[in-house]
Amino acid sequence: MNSTERKGYWGEFVAACLLILKGYRILARRYKTICGEIDIVAKKNNIVAFIEVKSRKSLDKCFNAIADKQLQRIQRASAIFLSRHKSLGLNVSISYDVIFVVDWKLPVHIANISI
């Protein structure tokens, strides 16, 4: 595993810890579908959040690393996740979130970004 992969795993671990502290339950990590991968799927109350995690050296680099193509991938993959997990119920709200993990700073969670 190279240093970039280690940083990615670390960022996802930090993001999952943040979500747990905020009251979320982690449903899946690195959920793979034919459409691509979702870094974290988490649930809080009636909200199911599909979360992309970006670990970079600065917040600006995190923002620049989010592309429309990635967000569309997450949206397609989330439809597959929901179709395979009908037990979540029909009355859930969907949120597409990002968490930015920057060296030596608290992670930034942006909920319900526009796709």
CATH number at residue 78: 3.40.1350.10
The residue type at 66? I
59 inside domain: yes
96 inside domain: yes
pLDDT number for residue 22: 97
pLDDT number for residue 48: 96
Q: C-alpha angle 61/93/63, rounded to 5°?
A: 5
Q: Which domain holds residue 41?
A: 3-110
Running along the chain, 115 residues long, what does each successive block of 10 average in pLDDT?
A: 83 97 97 95 96 92 87 92 87 93 93 77
pLDDT number for residue 115: 58
11 inside domain: yes
86 inside domain: yes
Domains identified in the chain, total number: 1
115 inside domain: no
User: What is the DSSP annotation of the chain?
Assistant: --HHHHHHHHHHHHHHHHHHHTT-EEEEEEEEETTEEEEEEEEETTEEEEEEEEEESSHHHHHHT--HHHHHHHHHHHHHHHHH-GGG-SS-EEEEEEEEEETTS--EEE-S---
pLDDT number for residue 114: 67
67 inside domain: yes
pTM: 0.92
What distance lies between CA 77 and its chain's CA centroid? 12
